Amino acid sequence: MAGNGRKLMLGGHALVWAGDWTPEGARKAIGGAAKAGYDYVEIALLDPWKVDIAMTKDLLAEYGITATSSLGLSPDSDVTSTNPAIIAKGDELLRKAADVLHGFGGTEMCGVLYSNLGKYPGPASKENRANSVAAMQRLCDYAGDKGISVSLEVVNRYETNIINTGKEALQFLDDINRPNAFVHLDTYHMNIEEDGMEAAVLECGDRLGYVHIGESHRGYLGSGNVDFDTFFAALKKINYSGPIAFESFSSAVVDPALSNTLCVWRNLWSDSDDLASHALAYMKERI
């Protein structure tokens, strides 16, 4: 069975509602996701040391939803580096993120866990790739002991030089060779790099562990260029049954680090609740 025996869940990225994880921001994001009818909220753990685990766990219980986590690495924690000190910082960050996720009861860790989230000046060397594979093996072993699945997000050429297509991600998984490592596909990035919206999904099959639903301009679903009908039909063909998170960014909600990294310059929406409700209805129609 595709989706690796897990439950089909619909979630929303926390940045749809809040740009920080203060008690106020956390309540806004968790409460907003619950109010819209989502099963879970995806929490960005770019700095997991700043996340209050007990507060987060209590809010999730209060609103009756669950949470997943995502993050990308920075240049000073880039596990593709040839500098052992930088790799060690990356390992430390990833382990801490796994600890925090486990602390508030989550079992799904995703994102660009394997490299810096940003444009590289050239292609990855064999050493860069090998260092990334080794780091993901260490992360999968550590996370696996906590019952956590690790899904590696395939992103476009301007955000990594390691894996830009589903096919490359599958080859990367073969090298990692861990049972809790999966592919994370994102329609925003697929729209840039893939040959259509079906082939990568079918190729990944039961190795697809996490999905991001994002429009070509990161705004309202159905108002851009992504062929969502074909994508959701492909998910049905593989009987996908894992997490599906709506992801959208606007200058109306700003995370000090992530918004700039993702080049969120435009105000594509200002009403988080309307955006989230529309997205959930849009996804449900196609599932």
**Selection from 212, 283, 276 nearest residue 18 by Cα:** 276
Identify any residues that bridge with 207 across adjacent strands, giving them in sequence order. none
pLDDT tens digits for range 94-124:
999 999 999 999 999 999 999 999 999 999 9
**Which of 128, 124, 149, 154 minimizes the C-alpha distance to 139?**
149
193 is catalytic: no
Which listed residue (42, 159, 203, 247) is catalytic? 247
For residue 84 the two structure tokens come to: 């052992």
CATH of the domain at 55: 3.20.20.150
Can 62 be counted among the known catalytic residues?
A: no
Q: Each residue of 125-150: pLDDT tens digit?
A: 999 999 999 999 999 999 999 999 99
Handedness of CA 115, 224, 212, 261 (dihedral sign): positive
Residue 260 or 81, more confident: 81
149: helix, coil or strand?
strand
Contact 285, 228 (CB under 8 A): no
User: What does the pLDDT average to over 180-208?
Assistant: 98
Instruction: Say which of 108, 153, 203, 215 is annotated catalytic.
Output: 153
Percent of the chain with pLDDT over 90: 88
State the pLDDT confidence band at 2, using cuts at 50, 70 and 90: very low
Domains held by the chain: number: 1
The answer to whether residue 188 scores a pLDDT higher than 90 is: yes
Question: Tens digits of per-residue pLDDT, 36-69?
Answer: 999 999 999 999 999 999 999 999 999 999 999 9
Q: Which two tokens stand for residue 138?
A: 């260490």
Which of 82, 36, 54, 53 minimizes the C-alpha distance to 273?
A: 36
The domain containing residue 215 runs over which residues?
A: 2-286
Least confident of 16-20, 53-57, 73-77, 143-147: 16-20
pLDDT at 258: 76
Pull the structure tokens for residue 188: 């925003």
CA–CA distance, 122 with 186 (Å, rounded to integer): 23
